[in-house]
Structure 1
Amino acid sequence: MIPYFRACAALAGVALIAGCASTPEGVAPRSNGWVKDEVSDSYVFGYPLVLMDISREAATGSAPGQAAPNTLRHAQSLPPVGASSPREPNLDTLGSSGWLDVSREPVLVALPDSHGRYMDARALDMWTNVVWSTAAKGNQRVSGLKSQTIAFVPVGWKGTLPARAQRVEVSTRYVWFLARIETRGGGDLASARRLQRGIRVAPLSAWDARGQRVAQADPQTGASLAGDPVATGAPAAQIAALDAKGFFDRLALALEDNAPEPDDAHALKILGDIGVQPGDPAQLPTGAKDAAVVNAGLADGRARVATPPSNLLAGNGWLWVGDDAGNYGADYALRGYAAYASPGLPTSRDEARARVAQDSDGHTLNGANRYVIHFSAKQLPPVRGFWSITAYTPDGALDDDAPVRVAFGDRNGARRNRDGSLDVQVSAERPRGGANWVPVPKGDFRLVLRMYAPKPQATDGTWQPPAVERQ
C-alpha cells in the first residue's frame, strides 16, 4: 500500500511540475504570490502529522519516560507542576499511552473490566483522527468498562484474529493508543494502578488462539512500564523551532509511511506545487524573492493553527470543539487547531473540553480578582460520566505556587444552593468556607471544563457553560 501511495503521489507531482515547467508564448510568468498561500495551506494540512511523528519519536525508545513500540507506559501519579508537565495536565485520571506499529502485523490491546470505575480508551491515527474509542461501541463506561480486545490491523490485511477480538483497520503505520482511569488521588491511586497493569498489548504473533498474550513474549513487546511518560506538550515547541525546510522535510518523510485519506488528493497536489513529495527532501521554491514568501507562508500557517477557527462552539466566553472532534474529514483548520491546542483530543462522545480566558466583561482572567461561575439547576454540565474545572497558566501549566492542585467538579462534594443551582468560586485564595473552590494562579490564567462521556447537548451547541463573573 505504501509504495503504491508514494508512486501515485510522485507521478502526480511530476505531471504537475511538467505542466508548470514552461510558459506559453505571450503569457506573462505567474508571480510567486501563490507560494505564500500554498505554503500556509500545506503547513495547516501537515501540522497534525508532523506533531504526531515528533511525539512518537520523543516517546519511543529506552530513555527515561520513553517506551518501546507496542508497549504501554503507565503514569503512576497525577501530573507534577513545572516544565516537565504536559500542556493542561489532567488531574482526574491516570493515563496510559503507547505507540503501536502495525507495519508488520496486527497489534492487539486487551482492556480489563474496570468493575464500576470510570475508564475510557481511544486510538488515533497519525493524522489525529480517532479510529477507535470505547465510546464507539456504546460501552457502559459510566458504570464501568467491560473487558474487551481490539486488534489494530493494516488496511487490507488478511488473516485470522483471536476469537472475539474487534478488528480496526488503520491506514497509517503508527497508532497512538491512550487509556484513562478515574482516580481521586491519594490512596485511591493504588486501585487505578491495578487496572493499568491489567491492560495488555502485543503483536498478533505473541497471542494464542484463546486471545491471551503468550507469557514468553519478547519483553520489549507487550510490556508495561511504570512512570510518567514524555510530556505531550514538548513536541509543539520542537515544531515551532523548525524552519520551512525542516518542517516540510519532516512532513515528506512522515508521508511515506502514513498516507492521508483519498479525499486529500487536492492537498497533495498543493504540496507538489511547492516541491514536497512523500519520502524525498523538500524542494521548496528557491528564487531570489521566494525565500521571503516561503517564510511569510510559514508564519501565516503557524498563526492559523494557533487561532480558534470560526466553527468552534462558543458561549459566554468559552470555546470548545463540537461533534467533529476526532473526525475532521477535510476540515484541516479545525484538525490543525485541535492538534495544537489539545493533542490526542477524543471524540465528542468521549469527552468535551471547553476553555475560557476572559470574564463576562471581556477582561483577562487574573488571580488578583475573585470570580464566580453560577450554574442554574438546569445548566449543570450535561454528562453521563462526570465533570471538572481546572485552572492553568496562559501556557497551559499548573501553578507552581498553588497551595493545592485539584480539579473541582461533581465528584468533590459540590454543594448546591436550595434551588438546585451551583456557585463555583474561582480565586487564588481559599474562599470563606472553602466550598466549591477552583484554586487559580496569582497572575493571568485560563480555565478548562472537562465533561467526561458528555450528553449530546454538550457538543451540538444546544448547551453553554455560564459566564465567569468577576465579584
Structure 2
Amino acid sequence: MIKTRRELFSLSSTCASLAGLAFLAGCASSPTVAPKTTGWIKDEVADSYVFAYPLVLMDLAREAATGTDPGQAPVNTLRHAQALPPVGATSPSTPSLDTLDSTGWLDVSDEPVILSLPDSHGRYVDARALDMWTNVIWSTGAQTDARVGGLKAKTIAFVQKDWQGTLPANAKRIDVPTRYVWIDVRVQSNGKHDLTAVRKLQRAIRVAPLSVFNGDTRVASVVARSNPPDMGVSGTPATQVAALDANGFFNRLAQALQDNPPSPDDPHALNILGNLGVNPGEPVQLPKNASDAIAAGLADGRERVATPPSNLLMANGWKWFGDGVGNYGPDYALRAYAAFTQPGVGTKDDEVRAMVALDSDGHALNGANRYVIRFEPNQLPPVRGFWSITAYTKDGALGESAPAHVAVGDRNGAHRNRDGSLDVTVSSARGKSANWLPAPRADFQLVMRLYAPKPQATDGTWQPPAVVRQ
C-alpha cells in the first residue's frame, strides 16, 4: 500500500548535567544529529512504480502503435488484423487463435470520437475501451446480445468529461477521464475458411471524430499487413518499460500525467510522487544523494509488479483474475499485475484467461510428457459464449512444432465421454485422444480462455481442473 507520509528519523543530542565542564561545553557547541535515512525514498519509489506502471506501459504502447509506418495506424482509425497468428509466431503475449482483433487509439482532447458497431448476425463479437490507466470504461460486457446471440448494431461516443455539445442520434455517451482511449473489437473466427466473412464484418466497424462522422460516415480504417502490435510483444512496450531506469520511467510518467490524470481516488499518490520530485509536465528531480535507495526502490517495484497479488484466483496450478479486474479503484497491485501479465484485459464479464505452467505434482509442463485435463460433467468451463485451451512456449509464443491454428474447446467439436465429462490430452506427439491439444516439445504453458464467462468463473465457485501427467 502506498504510505501516507515520509518516515524521517533523527537523533537529538542530550547533555548530562554531571558529565563535566569540558563535555558540557562540547555538547553545547556541537550537537550530534544522525543523518536522515533514505528508507522512505526506497519505499516511495517502489510504491510509485506499482502505481504508475499501467500508465507508462499504455503510453509506450500508444506511441508504438500510432503513426503511418508499417504496423501502425493513425490516431482515431482502426487497424484490422487479417490473419490468425502463424506457426512459430514469436509474440510472448499468448496470441488468441479464436478471434481477429480490430484495434485503435482514440484522442478525445479536441472533440468526441464515435465508434459504430454493425449487427454481427449472430457471430460472437466483444468490444472494450480502456483508459490510459487500464480501467475498462466501456465494453459489451454482460450484454447478452453481444454474446451467444451476436452483437446488435450500436453507436458509442467517447467524450472528454467536460465536453458540451450534440452527439449523433442514438449514440451512447461515455465520459473519458484521460485524453487517450484504447479500443479493441474482437470478432470470432472459425478458421481459414471463415476469414472472408470476418473481414467483411470488420470493414463495417467505423471509428471517426465527431466532425468527420457527421460529414462522412465512410471513414478510414487500416488493413493490417500483419497482426496488430501487441502491448506485450518482445522489444516493444513491456520490455521498453522494463529497460527504463528511474529517471526514464518517472520522466515518461510526468509527461503522460499532463493529459491523463489519475482518478479522483488517487490524489494521495500524486502527493507521494511530488515528494520524489515528480510533477505532471515538469522535468523530474529525484532526491539527490540517494541513488542506491532509488535503485533499490525501482528493483522492488519491478518485483512487485510481477508478483501475483493475494486477490488473484488460484487453483490446481491455474491463475486467473476474479471480480475486480478491469475496474481497479485503489487496488494498484492488481492493476499493475494485470497490465504486466495480460495487457488490455477486460472485465469479469468480458473474458477469463486462466494460465498454468505446472502439472498436478508441481513440475514444469513439458511436451515430452503426456497430460490429461479432465472436466467432470458439472465442471466444464462456465460460459455464455465459448471456451478454448491453447498451448504456448514458456515465453508465450506458439510452438513451431504445433499445427497452425489448433486449440481445443467447445467451439471446435470437443468430444465428451458417455457420462458427460470431457478429457483433453496434451502432448507434443499425437495420441489417439479425440481431444488432443498439440504442445511445444520443450517446457510450455496452457491458456484457457472463457469468452463471456458466467459469474461462477470469477467469484471462485468454479475452478479449472488439474493438469495430470500420465
TM-score over 0.5 for the pair: yes
1:335 aligns with 2:341: no
Q: Secondary structure at the match of 1:411?
A: helix
Distance 1:84 1:280, change over 3 A: farther
- 1:92-103 correspondence runs (5 A): 92-103=98-109
1:443 aligns with 2:453: no
Q: Secondary structure at the match of 1:263?
A: coil
1:90 aligns with 2:89: no
- 1:14-163 correspondence runs (5 A): 30-82=36-88, 85=91, 87-135=93-141, 137-163=143-169
Q: Secondary structure at the match of 1:37?
A: helix
1: CA distance, partners of 2:431 / 2:148: 32
**Which 5+ residue runs of structure 2 have no aligned equivalent?**
14-30
How far off is 1:399 after superposition? 0.7
2: CA distance, partners of 1:84 / 1:62: 23
Match of 1:246 in 2: 248
Q: Secondary structure at the match of 1:150?
A: strand
How far off is 1:376 after superposition? 0.4
1: CA distance, partners of 2:144 / 2:99: 21
**Do 2:82 and 2:223's aligned partners in 1 also have CA atoms closer than 8 Å?**
no
| Alignment-mate amino acid for residue 199 of structure 2 | R
How far off is 1:393 after superposition? 1.2
How far off is 1:137 after superposition? 4.7
- 1:297-446 correspondence runs (5 A): 297-432=297-432, 434-446=433-445
Match of 1:255 in 2: 257
Distance 1:197 1:407, change over 3 A: same
- State the Cα deviation string for residues 389-430 of structure 1 (Å, max 9, x = none): 011111111112323441211111111111000000011111
Q: Secondary structure at the match of 2:190?
A: coil
1:193 aligns with 2:193: no
| TM-align CA RMSD | 2.0
| Alignment-mate amino acid for residue 269 of structure 1 | N
Which one of the candidate residues 217, 225, 229 is aligned to 2:223? 225
- State the Cα deviation string for residues 191-226 of structure 1 (Å, max 9, x = none): 111110000000000123xxx8444x6xxxx43333
- State the Cα deviation string for residues 217-269 of structure 1 (Å, max 9, x = none): 6xxxx433333222322210111111111011101110111000111111111
**Which 5+ residue runs of structure 1 have no aligned equivalent?**
1-15
Match of 2:212 in 1: 206
Q: Secondary structure at the match of 1:139?
A: helix
| Alignment-mate amino acid for residue 240 of structure 1 | A
Stretch deviating more after TM superposition (46-55 or 77-86) = 77-86
2: CA distance, partners of 1:24 / 1:176: 54
Q: Secondary structure at the match of 2:337?
A: helix
2: CA distance, partners of 1:139 / 1:266: 41
1: CA distance, partners of 2:89 / 2:222: 25
Aligned residues with identical type, % of pairs: 66
2: CA distance, partners of 1:24 / 1:184: 74
Which one of the candidate residues 273, 277, 280 is aligned to 1:278? 280
- TM-score, structure 1 as length reference: 0.90
**Do 2:126 and 2:146's aligned partners in 1 also have CA atoms closer than 8 Å?**
no
How far off is 1:334 after superposition? 0.3
How far off is 1:437 after superposition? 1.4
Q: Secondary structure at the match of 2:44?
A: helix
2: CA distance, partners of 1:23 / 1:153: 54
| Alignment-mate amino acid for residue 392 of structure 2 | Y
2: CA distance, partners of 1:83 / 1:370: 24
2: CA distance, partners of 1:175 / 1:400: 35
- TM-score, structure 2 as length reference: 0.91
Stretch deviating more after TM superposition (372-381 or 23-32) = 23-32
**Do 2:124 and 2:146's aligned partners in 1 also have CA atoms closer than 8 Å?**
no
How far off is 1:284 after superposition? 1.1
Q: Secondary structure at the match of 1:449?
A: strand
1: CA distance, partners of 2:89 / 2:423: 32
Q: Secondary structure at the match of 1:262?
A: coil
**Do 1:172 and 1:258's aligned partners in 2 also have CA atoms closer than 8 Å?**
yes
- State the Cα deviation string for residues 69-99 of structure 1 (Å, max 9, x = none): 0010000000135565351101000001000
How far off is 1:462 after superposition? 0.5
| Alignment-mate amino acid for residue 165 of structure 2 | G
1: CA distance, partners of 2:88 / 2:285: 39
1: CA distance, partners of 2:113 / 2:87: 34
2: CA distance, partners of 1:189 / 1:357: 31
1: CA distance, partners of 2:466 / 2:90: 32
**Do 1:200 and 1:213's aligned partners in 2 also have CA atoms closer than 8 Å?**
no
1: CA distance, partners of 2:57 / 2:89: 19
**Rg comparison, structure with higher value:** 2
How far off is 1:147 after superposition? 0.4
2: CA distance, partners of 1:337 / 1:135: 21
Match of 1:8 in 2: none
How far off is 1:299 after superposition? 0.8
Which one of the candidate residues 249, 265, 286 is aligned to 2:267? 265
**Do 2:87 and 2:403's aligned partners in 1 also have CA atoms closer than 8 Å?**
no
- State the Cα deviation string for residues 173-201 of structure 1 (Å, max 9, x = none): 00000000000221101111111000000
How far off is 1:458 after superposition? 0.4
Distance 1:83 1:388, change over 3 A: closer
| Alignment-mate amino acid for residue 162 of structure 1 | P
1: CA distance, partners of 2:237 / 2:254: 18
Distance 1:393 1:86, change over 3 A: closer
How far off is 1:156 after superposition? 1.5
- State the Cα deviation string for residues 284-319 of structure 1 (Å, max 9, x = none): 1221xx111111111111111111111101111111
